[in-house]
Homo-oligomer: A and B are copies of this chain.
Amino acid sequence: MSPVKSPHGRTGRPPRTSRAEVLAAARDIIDRDGWQKLTIRRLAAEIGVGTMTVYHHIRDREDLLVQLVNDIADQAPRPDLPDEPRDRIVVAAEAIHDGLAAHPWATEIITTDGFLDRLGESALTMVETIVAGAVDCGCTPEQAVDVFRGIWYYTVGEIVVRANSDQLQAEMERTADREIFFNNLDASQQPHLAAIGDQWPALAARDTYRPTLHALVDGLLAQATPATSDG
Contacts and interface: CB of A to CB of B under 8 A. Distances in A.
A200 B160 contact: no
A153 B158 contact: yes
A121 B215 CA distance: 30
A153 B154 contact: yes
Contact of A219 (B124, B185, B218): B218
A125 B192 CA distance: 11
B149 A208 contact: yes
A132 B146 CA distance: 29
A228 B62 CA distance: 49
A135 B194 CA distance: 14
A45 interface: no
Copies of this chain, count: 2
Contacts of A131: 192-193, 196
A87 to B, nearest CB: 15
Interface stretch (A14-22, A31-39, A51-59, A104-112): A104-112
A169 to B, nearest CB: 8
A141 B194 CA distance: 11
Given A216-B219, A218-B219, A193 B124 contact: yes
Contacts of A216: 150, 154, 215-216, 219-220
A131 B164 CA distance: 22
A127 interface: yes
A145 B196 contact: yes
Contacts of A190: 124-125, 127-128
A133 to B, nearest CB: 9
Given A149-B208, A157-B155, A204-B145, A132 B192 contact: yes
A161 interface: yes
Given A110-B161, A132-B191, A218-B223, 9 more contacts: A111-B160, A113-B168, A121-B189, A128-B189, A142-B203, A146-B212, A152-B161, A153-B212, A219-B219
By Cβ-Cβ distance, the 4 closest A-B pairs, closest first, are A157-B157, A219-B219, A215-B219, A153-B157
27 contacts: A107-B111, A113-B164, A114-B164, A116-B204, A117-B181, A121-B189, A124-B189, A125-B189, A127-B190, A128-B189, A128-B191, A128-B193, A131-B192, A141-B195, A141-B196, A144-B192, A145-B200, A145-B203, A146-B203, A146-B212, A149-B204, A156-B160, A157-B157, A215-B216, A215-B222, A216-B216, A218-B223
